[in-house]
Amino acid sequence: MSAQTGIASRYFITGTDTEVGKTVATAQLIRLFNQLDIPTIGMKPVASGCIAQGDILINDDVIAHQQASPIHAPLELVNPYRFLPPISPHLAARAAGVAIDLQHLVHCAEQLSDYAETVIIEGAGGWFAPLSEQFRISDLAVALQAPVILVVGMRLGCINHALLSAKAIRLSGLPIAGWIANRIDPEMAFYSDNLSYLQMHLSAPLLAEIDFQENAVDGCLNLQAFERLKLRNLTP
């Protein structure tokens, strides 16, 4: 069905920085696909800043993914690596004495395809955020061979961050399926002008704008985002 709809079997969500709304965009996209009868589930390969619930570590981003989808899969697949400290994943893994295995993450993503037609994979931090001394988020995205959706946190400085991120993604050999403008600063001056500049200079479609609101993670992208992804038709 994914190939017929023009929707890829997996997408990788990255951002121009940390705290730019990757989880909001991921949850809204998961919710949209499921509402369109495309069974979709989220994946957070590596998460730091988890909380303990008994003997289990759980991450707020993973909870947001789960609340956006009626499909349930084992936590070991949707969030294979979980750490308590709210620090960079490579530091959290090192402190825990854990070596993050990219092939294990790829295997988990492949197993999730048994549960849903589309898997939306949310990275940590930005494109070059480290997962270990050897690997970065970009290496994971390449290993997964997933089209990338770039979340741009709309605030002062976002143009530079967005253009650098897009260039780095393209140099990795992965296609950019589109980008999402997330208005994290409601007081951003000349918002529309900045948005227009990015539309002119990011050679990928603007999938959606997400307005600043407290409960944005509970929202849903509009149908235009789906139609624009279909037009990209980045299915194998």
**Which residues neighbour 57 within 8 Å (Cβ) at sequence distance 6 or greater?**
50, 51, 82, 83, 84
3-state secondary structure string, 55-72?
CEEECHHHHHHHHHCCCC
Active site residue 167: no
- Tell how strand 56-58 and strand 51-53 pair up: antiparallel
Query: Among residues 114, 107, 41, 52, which one has the least CA distance to residue 80?
Result: 107
At what angle are helices 22-35 and 60-68 packed, to 10 degrees?
A: 20
Provide the CA 236 distance to its chain's centre, in angstroms: 20
- DSSP SS3 for 92: helix
Pair 41, 71: CB distance under 8 Å: yes
Beta strands in the chain (DSSP E): 10-15, 40-43, 46-47, 51-53, 56-58, 81-82, 118-126, 148-153, 176-182, 206-210
Active-site hit among 22, 44, 167, 230:
44
Spatial separation of the C-alpha atoms in residues 98 and 24, rounded to whole Å: 28
Catalytic center residues: 44
